[in-house]
Amino acid sequence: MSTTVSPAPSSPGRPVPGLSRLAQGLLPVLYQHRLVATGQLHRLFTPNAPRPVYLRQQLKELRTAGLVDATTRRTSRLGRAELLWYITARGADAVAHDPTIPRRAYRISPQAAASQLQEHTLAVVDTGIAFVEWARRLGHECSPLDWEPEVAHRIRDGDSRGVDDAFMVPDAVLRYTHTTASGRRRMLSFFIEVDRATMQTTRLAAKLTAYARYQQYVPHGGGRGRRSIREAWRDHYPAFPRLLIVLTGASDRSLGNRVQDLRALAAADSRVGQLAAGVTTLQLLQETGPFAPVVTPLSGDPTPTDVFLAPSGGAPTS
């Protein structure tokens, strides 16, 4: 039986001998996203296959070669044990030789893979997959490597005993290329925050303040404490990314209350009002798509819009 495999977006530039094309594509995705369920890999790589038989064979071969390993999901919603896959030190070393793959200092351990952080990590992956699947449907571009988890952005000069006040670390930075019917291409970038309704709303609001600080942060220059002449984000992004908060893990009523609480807290900080920021649910993002009116702006008019977060009646900005 033939199996349709989606193109690997960035297969390693230096392939590991003896691995199939699918296996070569799996390695950098597991390296970048840390922990991914079999079902999630199926949606990313073999979406046209009714069952992930070939995918499981390739994962088994990678595991036998010592390049990946797996743990069991702590809370399975499938009625049976679900395997979560992660790259081993040997696999990470193989991927790290590819100059096209961003280097990641963090290496997941078997203990971390089996920890209570599983669900949050998988929810971030589900968010990225929602963009990938809608890009396929709409003829846009977003690949399994177009979001990167936990990218640190400095928001304060000098050393710090901790990272909370010196860095802003989104759950993911996601890039997406939107193409109109006329062929016009627009490259979008998003800061993604995934909230499973386990964090106090006030703590989530503090994260909003960190994004606002990063938008305005101008670092010190190299000489005698002089400041740079432009904001730090301009060295990394052509435009300041939109902030998208994705809610999941609770009832619709609870998530709706959370949206209202976030809007109230955002209104209390004038700096947050200058962000292009909105909140949606993972379910809406998956079922209706990012270019439907599924996003409630954190500031101003609460009328739902799409991920462009354009003002009512206005044209989307870059």
Binned at pLDDT 50, 70 and 90, residue 4 comes out as: very low
Residue 281 has pLDDT above 80, yes or no: yes
Question: Domain ends where: 114, 129, 149?
Answer: 114
Q: How far is residue 7's CA from residue 10's CA, in Å, rounded to a whole number?
A: 9
Do 106 and 123 reside in the same domain of the chain?
Answer: no
The predicted structure's pLDDT at residue 158: 64
Does any domain span residue 4? no
Do 34 and 181 reside in the same domain of the chain?
Answer: no
Does any domain span residue 44? yes
Question: Domain ends where: 89, 114, 139?
Answer: 114
Do 98 and 134 reside in the same domain of the chain?
Answer: no
The predicted structure's pLDDT at residue 229: 81
Task: Give Cα separations from 6 to 16, 45, 49, 143, 305 (angstroms).
Answer: 20, 5, 10, 10, 31
Do 154 and 286 reside in the same domain of the chain?
Answer: yes
CB 170 within 8 Å of CB 275: no
Does any domain span residue 308? no
CB 26 within 8 Å of CB 87: no
Q: How far is residue 20's CA from residue 174's CA, in Å, rounded to a whole number?
A: 27
Does any domain span residue 175? yes
Do 92 and 146 reside in the same domain of the chain?
Answer: no
Mean pLDDT of 107-116: 91
Residue 95 has pLDDT above 50, yes or no: yes
Do 249 and 281 reside in the same domain of the chain?
Answer: yes
CB 113 within 8 Å of CB 71: yes
Does any domain span residue 279? yes
- Does this model's pTM top 0.85? My answer is yes
Q: How many domains does the chain have?
A: 2
Do 132 and 74 reside in the same domain of the chain?
Answer: no
- What is the domain range of residue 159? 119-297
Task: For 149-187, write each residue's pLDDT tens digit.
Answer: 999 999 987 655 555 678 999 999 999 999 988 889 999
Do 232 and 248 reside in the same domain of the chain?
Answer: yes
